[in-house]
Amino acid sequence: MRSPSSSRNKVVNVTPCCTKIGLKKGPWTPEEDEILTNYVSKEGEGRWRTLPKKAGLFRCGKSCRLRWMNYLRPSVKRGHISPDEEDLILRLHRLLGNRWSLIAGRIPGRTDNEIKNYWNTHLSKKLISQGIDPRTHKPLILNPNYPIDDNNKKANNEINTIDPNPINYIPFQMEEPSRSINNNHSGEITSLDGCQHHNSNAMFASYGDDDGMNVVVSTERDDEMNFCVDDVFSSFLNSLINEDMFINCQNQQIINGTLQDFDPFMASFDQINPKRMDE
């Protein structure tokens, strides 16, 4: 792997996202890395906006956070993605779509940025070469947007003999979950082990985000909601990751043309947040 900080030391000037003139942009130097690492080790993560000034860095807070999260954190695993990790990414992407932070949260030591890059540079191409639409994880319909070679024509022809009408291939993409999955900025809700976490307004269950952020499934505070939401979501993910049921079922439904009827994620998600059923 290329040295991430020393290989590109050109300093481009001011970043538009930073209001202050004179802030540095571009690759980080080893000196900057050291300053940031020392500061975060001493003071802890968070307060990114004020961190650069306190640490003596001429960077915007966003840049500091990104550098720490994606590269400097001790828990970040460097090196090649193993076949097991690759398989996991594929399964999680099929389930979650481009929700890189969620995917990263299930793969220890990997960052959302790393997984996103790996997906875009390796896995999406790999799937395309296998005649699979990387967005939907279903066989590619003959589509001018995806150049396919002779080997892949076979796969496309086969699926087209099942049903040539693309409308029957509903993309298996989970519904936008932003209403139900919230980012927690308070730093109060943390663990995978705790089932319930309370703040002033809501009950939360969290599943750890590997970026050190806490992605939580929130529900209205409700005494009837006394099951462990975290366990439900976590075990649901694990079940999908570890079993072939999903694949078999999906394949079967492709053949039957009824894929849209099967959505285990939403089924489970509705357990987590029953209010969704009414929306």
- Cβ-contact 81, 54 below 8 angstroms: no
For residues 194 and 74, what is the distance between their CA atoms, to the nearest angstrom? 24
Cβ of residue 98: shortest distance to DNA, in angstroms? 4
Q: Should residue 273 be labelled a site residue for DNA when binding is judged by CB under 7 A?
A: no
Q: Is 152 near DNA (CB under 7 A)?
A: no
CA distance 116 to 243: 24
Note whether 75 binds DNA by CB under 7 A: no
Helix (H, G, I), strand (E, B) or coil at 35: helix
C-beta atoms surrounding 81 within 10 Å: 18
Contact residue for DNA among 20, 125, 153, 198 (CB under 7 A):
125
For DNA, give the closer residue by CB, 62 or 221.
62
From candidates 58, 77, 86, 99, binder to DNA by CB under 7 A: 99
145 binds DNA (CB under 7 A): no
Please choose, from the candidates 217, 126, 136, the residue with its C-alpha nearest in 3D space to the C-alpha of residue 169.
136
The yes or no reply on residue 39 touching DNA (CB under 7 A) is no
Name the residue among 168, 93, 82, 178 with its Cα closest to residue 127: 93
How many residues sit in the footprint of DNA (CB under 7 A)? 59
Candidates 77, 116, 221, 276; binder of DNA (CB under 7 A) is 116
Residues of this chain, 215-254, that bind DNA according to CB under 7 A:
215, 218
- Smallest gap from Cβ 164 to DNA, in A, equals 29
Rounded to an integer, what distance in angstroms lies between the CA atom of residue 131 and that of residue 137? 10
Cα–Cα–Cα angle for 206, 37, 59, rounded to 5 degrees: 95
SS3 70: helix
Interaction site with DNA (CB under 7 A): 1-2, 4-5, 7-10, 12, 15-18, 24-28, 46-50, 61-63, 65-67, 70-71, 98-102, 112-114, 116-118, 120-122, 125, 178, 182-186, 199, 209, 211-213, 215, 218
